[in-house]
Structure 1
Amino acid sequence: MKHNVIGMDIAKSVFQLHAIDPQTGEIERIKLRRQEVLPFFAQRPASLVAMEACGGAHWWARQLIALGHEVRLLPAKAVRPFVLRNKTDAADARAIWTAVQQPEMKTVAIKSEFQQGILALHRLRAQLMKFRHMQTNAIRGLLLEFGYPLPEGYQALRKAFPATLASLEETLPGMLVETLREQWARIQSIDQEIAVIEGRLKQALSET
């Protein structure tokens, strides 16, 4: 039995599919475990498979395309209006199946592994920068409690902190000074990690 359009709701472990035979109108609702998905599609006639563009969707899209299927990724907000009853995996799969067949439905471009890798590096860099920001704010707050204001902005802090730390050795408890020194070393280590990621991004983009 050939189904031209399949709506697939992807998850971590269990996947829900919805399809309707274009000749008979027979509805097929299929639940698959993760390890069953690719073998299932390897046996199916070439179909249009639609998914929401959520986590893992780009990987699944590439796998299904390799099996000879056409894949379209839909924005979640475009699918939501077609969920007709309580939100379940089956209802979501049906909504995806309905949404992909709407005229002029916008789709999300399927990313290559390289494109996903670039985005992953950007996210990791942003995470490191956020952690660095948290660390520097904590140091500012602690020293302000002891009457030592530090300049705003990371670059200004980076220039001022070593001299400030040296001057604190005579006035603050030694255990605090040592801990601040360790925290500053950690921040410098984060700087190095950020620089490494930025170098990899620059090299990767220069090779495209």
Structure 2
Amino acid sequence: WARTLNTLGHEARIMAVKYVIPYRTKGKNDLNDAVAICEAVQRPSTRFVPVKSPEQQAILSVHRMREHWVRERTALMNRMRALLSEFGLIIPVGRSSLMKHVPLMLEDAENELPHLARTGIADAYHHLGELNQRIADTEQVFESFAKVSANVQRVMKVRGIGPQTATAILASIGNGSQFDKSRDFSAWLGLVPKQYSTGGKPRLGRITKHGDKYLRTLLVHGARTVIA
């Protein structure tokens, strides 16, 4: 909608709800919301969210689908392990171990796995293979996009950042012009310590964990690969 309004000659601004709520002093309705928005938009401390391009939204949609499939795959593997363990069939930890041992267990006619359970596990294993392929396809999309995007290649020069993280960063923040310095990006993403300072005595706690959890997770994993 913001892009549509901009094409009509308006200057559309997007801001987080948390900047509006403090200025709504009465009950929530359309009129009071509009008054609160008018108050919030005039404050110099209010920050606005840049309007995403169709390309950015498309990349983010691929990331969201991959995230969904990864979670579904993890849940499916845990379910398969639990069902097999009920029949005394234990699989070592790890996705590769599960992919290796399940076919062997299904082919073993001497174990105590009933026919109905064997059929259900076989269907689940087939679905797991489909999820693996879908996730691999999304990763191929990221790699292909990285080859033709100079901005993605520039971000990938940072140690620990690959095509997946680089595309997620650019799709989330665009050119980053909304940040005055790199620390502002860290604060926006929740990677800086939470402050509770008073009387000139700084007190720093754990990281705030504000912002996009998915993007923050990717950066944390990238940092681990660097320091490992």
Structure 2 distance, partners of 1:68, 1:168, is 71
State the match for 2:217 in structure 1.
none
Structure 1 distance, partners of 2:146, 2:23, is 39
State the match for 1:63 in structure 2.
4
Counterparts of 1:101-116 in structure 2 under 5 Å? 101-116=42-57
Q: Are the equivalent residues in 1 in contact too, given 2:70–2:135 (CA < 8 A)? A: yes
2:58 matches 1:150:
no
State the match for 2:72 in structure 1.
131
Q: 4+ residue runs of structure 1 moved beyond 6 angstroms?
A: none
Structure 2 distance, partners of 1:67, 1:168, is 69
- Structure 1 or 2: more helix by fraction: 2
Q: Give 5+ residue unaligned stretches, structure 2.
A: 150-228
Structure 2 distance, partners of 1:65, 1:131, is 38
Structure 2 distance, partners of 1:126, 1:98, is 37
Give the Å deviation of 1:164. 2.8
Post-superposition Cα deviations, 1:114-159, rounded to whole Å, max 9, x if no partner, equal: 0011111111111111111111111111111111122223233223
Q: Give 5+ residue unaligned stretches, structure 1.
A: 1-59
State the match for 1:205 in structure 2.
146
Post-superposition Cα deviations, 1:85-131, rounded to whole Å, max 9, x if no partner, equal: 11223222221121111013111121111001111111111111111
Most deviating of 160-169 and 69-78: 160-169
The one-letter amino acid of 1:194's match is: I
Most deviating of 157-166 and 90-99: 157-166
Aligned match for 2:112, one of 167, 171, 176: 171
The alignment-based identity, stated in percent, is 36
Structure 1 distance, partners of 2:48, 2:130, is 41
The 1:88/1:206 distance shift into structure 2, 3 A limit, reads farther
Structure 1 distance, partners of 2:145, 2:137, is 12
Q: Are the equivalent residues in 2 in contact too, given 1:79–1:95 (CA < 8 A)? A: yes
Structure 2 distance, partners of 1:112, 1:184, is 39
What is the RMSD computed on CA atoms of the aligned residues? Answer: 1.6
Aligned residues between the structures = 149
The one-letter amino acid of 2:62's match is: L
> Structure 1-normalised TM-score?
0.66
- Structure 1 or 2: more strand by fraction: 1
Structure 1 distance, partners of 2:118, 2:110, is 6
Structure 2 distance, partners of 1:118, 1:189, is 21
The one-letter amino acid of 1:71's match is: A
Asked which structure has the greater CA Rg, the reply is: 1
Give the Å deviation of 1:180. 0.8
The one-letter amino acid of 1:81's match is: P
